[in-house]
Structure 1
Amino acid sequence: MRSRFSLRPFIIITVILIAAMFYSLPYYVSKPGMAKELEPIINVENGQDESGSFMLTTVRMGQANIYSYLAAKLSKYQEIYPIDMIRDKKETDEEYNARQLHMMEGSKENAIETAFHKARLPVHYRYKGVYILEVVPGMPAEGKLKTGDKIFKVDGQIFDSAEKFTDYVRKKHVGDSISLTYSRDGKTRQVKMALKKFKDDPSKVGVGIGLVDDKDIITNPHVKINTDEIGGPSAGLMFSLEIYNQLTKEDLTKGYQIAGTGTISPDGIVVPIGGIEQKIIAADKAGAEIFFAPNEKGAADSNYRAAVKTAKDIGTKMKIVPVDTFDQAVRYLSKLRQKT
C-alpha cells in the first residue's frame, strides 16, 4: 500500500512535465537553422558548373512551450517574439505556414527576374489568378475567406493579377458589395461582401485581404527551384546569385563557400530580414567563408552591423560583406581571386 502511494507524486509530476511539452505559450522562439547549398536545389537548363557554392541560410521558428521558452531565455542566440509579431492572433499555424510558402514563391520569381535581367535574357509570365496571402482582422473577409484561397472572379469578371483586382476595388465606395468566386480544397465557392474602410488608412476601402499573384514564370533556359517546405522570402538574394552564376560562363564562386541572406526585389534591391544573428551562426557551422548581409544604406541598426557583431562574438573567420543591391554582390564576387 505504501509503495502505491509513494508512486503517486512521481506519476503526477511526470504527467505535469509531459503536459508542459504540449502547452503552447503566446510566443514564438527562433534559433539558428541551417545553411544549405543551392546548386542541388536550383537547376538552370544547361547551366554552368561552379567550383564553390552559394548557400541559403535559415532560422528555426516555432511556437514556444515552457521548455523552449526557458531555453531561449538562457541562450544568447535564440530570440523570443510575442505571437502577434509573427502572425495575426486569429491566424492559424496552417494559414501562417501557407503565407510563408507563398512568400517563398514570390522570392523565387523575383530572383529569377533579377538574374535574367542581369544576364540580359527575357522573362515572361502566365497569370492564373490571385491567392489570398492574409486576412485583415475586423474586416468583412474575416471568417469568410482564408489564407490560400484562390480568387479567379470578381463580380463575374476574371482578374488575373492582384494589381488589376486592386484597381477594380479602388474605384468602389464604402457599402458597395462585391461578389468573389474562389477555390478552396479543389471546390469552387462564392461569397458576397460589402466594402469597408481600413482602420489604419480610412482613405482606402476593401474587404481586408492581402493578395499575391498566382502565375507561372516562363524563361529560356528553364529554371527549376525545389525548396520543399522552406518558407519565407529571405533567400531571394542567394537564389538570384545561384541562378545568375549558372546562366553565365564566369564562375562567381571562385571556389569559395558563400552564404548570405536578404529578400530581393524584381529590380535587384536587397531588403533586410529577421534572424540575421542566427543565420550567421548557421553559416559559420556550415563552413561558409563569405556572408552577404543587407546593408540598409549604412543604417546604424542594419542587418550588416548586427551580423558583424555576431561574427565577432563567435570568433568566426567568415568575411561579412554589406550589400544594398544584387549588382553590388556580383561586383564583389567578380573581383575575388580564384581560390587555389
Structure 2
Amino acid sequence: MSRRALTLLIAGFLVLALGVIGAMQRVPYVVLSPGPTENTIGEVDKKPVISIKDHQTYPTSGALSLVTVAYQGGPSARIDLLTALRGWIDPTVAVVPEETIFAPDRSAQQVEEENTVEMTNSQETATAAALNELKIPFRMIVTVGATQKDRPAEGKLQVGDVIDSVDGKPATNADVVSDTVRAHKPGEAVVFGVTRGSEKHEVSVPTVAGPEGQALVGVEMRSAYKFPFKVDINVGDVGGPSAGLMFSLGILDKLTPGELTGGKKIAGTGTIDEKGQVGPIGGIAQKMVGAKDSGATIFLTPAANCAEAMRAVPEGLRLVRADSLHSAVEALDALRTGQGNVPACEAG
C-alpha cells in the first residue's frame, strides 16, 4: 500500500471514529429553532383560536399571528454533539446551555407544566388588557388555589372557592386577604366569606403561628378575573407567556368593527399585563424566522427586544416597536390607513 493510500485510510478512519463519538456523546445544550405560528383570528383544528360568547363580534381578515420557539434537548433527552455542531452552523437556530432553559431543580415535565400555567395566565391577562383598552369593566377575584396539609384551612376552604370577603372586608385582591390574616394574633379566627359553586358561605378558620411568628391559615390563593362575557382561547400545545400581545390584539379585532390588519399578515410577540404594557421575551431571532416563513411582512416587537431583533431580522420583515397594546393598535391603524406614526425599532 502506498503512503498516500495509507494516509487517506487513516484519515477516513479518524473521521468515522469522530462521527461515531459525536453521535454517542451527549452534551448539556439545547437547540432552539423556529416553532409553529398560529393566527389568533384564525382557526386551529377547525376551531377558532379565540371564541367570544354573549357579546357582539365582527368579521376579521388577514392574520395576527403568535410565534413560538421549538426546543430540542433537555436533562432527560440530551442532544448529541453532532446535533449541537449543526446548530452552531445554522444561522436560524440557537444552541444554548441547558441551564438557561431548565433550572437545576426543574425537570422537563415541571418546565412544561409551568409553561402551561403561564399560558393560561397570559390568556386571562390578555383578555383583561383588551377589555381595559376598550373600557369594558370587569373585576378581579381571589380564589383558593390549594390548602396546605395539616394547616387550619385544610378541610374548611376548598380549591376553587371564590373569596369574597375576609373579616367582613371585600377581598379585592390577594394582598388584602394576606394582610388581614397576618393582622391577627396566632390562635385567633379569621372569617372568610366565600362563594362555593352557586352558594355563599361564611367559614371561620383559626390561625396558627408561621415560621416568623405571623398568623397564617395555610391557604394558597390565585388572583383571577371575572369578565362580563366569555372569552375562550384555544392554541393546542403552545405554552409560555409570550403570546399575550397577540391574544389581546386578536380579542380587540373581534370585538371592534373594521379590520385591524387591513388584510395584511402580521405576526408579533410580547408578554402583556392587564394595563396593556408589553414586556420582553426570549428567542426573538427564531420567532422572526417563523414569522417570515408563515408569510408575515410585519413583526410587532417588544421595545426591550428591538436592538437584538435588528441584528437578526430576516430580509423583507418590517419591525414595528410595540411599547403597549394601545401603541400597537395605533401602529396598525397607521399601517392600514397610511396616516399616523408607525414606531420602528432602533439599534441599541
Equivalent residue, structure 1, for 2:248: 240
Aligned Cα root-mean-square deviation (Å): 3.6
Equivalent residue, structure 2, for 1:323: 322
Counterparts of 1:307 and 1:99 in 2: how far apart (Å)? 26
The CA deviation at 1:217 is 4.3
Counterparts of 1:25 and 1:44 in 2: how far apart (Å)? 46
Deviations 1:64-100 (A, max 9, x none): 4114322222222322333332232122211111100
Deviations 1:231-290 (A, max 9, x none): 000000000000011011121111110100000011101000000000000000011011
Equivalent residue, structure 1, for 2:33: 31
Equivalent residue, structure 1, for 2:61: 51
Counterparts of 1:79 and 1:334 in 2: how far apart (Å)? 34
Counterparts of 1:212 and 1:288 in 2: how far apart (Å)? 40
Give yes or no for contact 1:111–1:266 (8 Å, CA) kept in 2.
Answer: yes
Give the TM-score taking structure 1 as reference length: 0.68
79-88 vs 28-37, which deviates more? Answer: 79-88
AA in 2 matched with 1:309 = R
Counterparts of 1:317 and 1:255 in 2: how far apart (Å)? 17
Q: Does 1:336 align with 2:335?
A: yes
Q: Secondary structure at the match of 2:267?
A: strand
The CA deviation at 1:35 is 1.9
Equivalent residue, structure 1, for 2:202: none
Equivalent residue, structure 2, for 1:10: none
Q: Does 1:277 align with 2:285?
A: yes
AA in 1 matched with 2:68 = T
The CA deviation at 1:24 is 5.6
Give yes or no for contact 1:31–1:278 (8 Å, CA) kept in 2.
Answer: yes
Give yes or no for contact 1:24–1:65 (8 Å, CA) kept in 2.
Answer: yes
Equivalent residue, structure 2, for 1:253: 261
AA in 1 matched with 2:122 = S
Counterparts of 1:91 and 1:109 in 2: how far apart (Å)? 25
- Rg larger in 1 or in 2? 2
AA in 2 matched with 1:251 = E
Q: Secondary structure at the match of 1:29?
A: strand
Taking the TM superposition and a 5 Å limit, the aligned residue runs for 1:1-340 are: 20=24, 25-39=27-41, 40=43, 41-45=49-53, 46-62=56-72, 63=74, 64-66=78-80, 67-125=82-140, 127-130=142-145, 150-151=146-147, 155-156=152-153, 158=157, 163=175, 167=179, 195=211, 213=222, 215=224, 217-220=226-229, 222-296=230-304, 303-311=305-313, 314=314, 316-337=315-336
269-278 vs 152-161, which deviates more? Answer: 152-161
Give ranges in structure 2 of 5+ residues lacking alignment: 1-16, 44-48, 164-172, 185-207, 339-348
Give yes or no for contact 2:116–2:239 (8 Å, CA) kept in 1.
Answer: yes
AA in 1 matched with 2:228 = T
Counterparts of 1:110 and 1:90 in 2: how far apart (Å)? 28
Q: Secondary structure at the match of 1:337?
A: helix
Give yes or no for contact 2:261–2:336 (8 Å, CA) kept in 1.
Answer: no
Counterparts of 2:137 and 2:298 in 1: how far apart (Å)? 30
Give yes or no for contact 2:129–2:248 (8 Å, CA) kept in 1.
Answer: yes
The CA deviation at 1:26 is 2.8
State the number of aligned residues. Answer: 268
Equivalent pairs: percent with the same residue?
A: 29
The CA deviation at 1:218 is 3.0
Give yes or no for contact 1:34–1:58 (8 Å, CA) kept in 2.
Answer: yes
AA in 2 matched with 1:239 = F
